Amino acid sequence: MKKTIIIFSFFIAASLAVHAQADSSGTNYRFYPEVNVYFNPNTKTYSWFDQNRSSWTTGIQLPLSMKVKDENTFNTIRYEGTDVWSANADHIKIYGAPPAPAMPKTTNKAPEKPLPPPAK
């Protein structure tokens, strides 16, 4: 009986260790959909899509043109690895996309005639 309890205890301990390992893998990234930016709290780095380079960039500071309005409002994304942006299309579908830049209005109306120069 004592041997059975010891073996049973061993299997329970082993299964708990495997479960703990599965839960501890990966990083909880913060995703800010309003600017399409990821933040890794472990390394204190941001990842964003650089339009000029047409690629994802990681750094300790965001470019001046990007601003997270409320750093306390984010979506947590658990991801194994450092290329969390590889699933960016899915994250945008789930959490929303940044507002699109204002598009110029189009019209079928003919352009107005220019005003005559002011009289002297």
Instruction: Please report the pLDDT score of residue 39 as a whole number.
Output: 97
The residue ranges of the chain whose pLDDT is under 50 are: 8, 11, 17-22, 102-107
Nearest to 77 by CA among 35, 34, 32: 32
pLDDT score of 89:
92
Residues 54-67: tens digit of each pLDDT: 999 999 999 998 99
DSSP H or E stretch at residue 14 = helix 2-24
Nearest Cα residue to 75 out of 21, 38, 113: 38
Domain ranges of the chain: 26-95
| 3-state SS, residue 114 | coil
Residue 19: its pLDDT value, please?
43
Q: Could you tell me the two tokens for 70? A: 């409320």
- Residue 87's pLDDT is 93
Give the pTM. 0.62
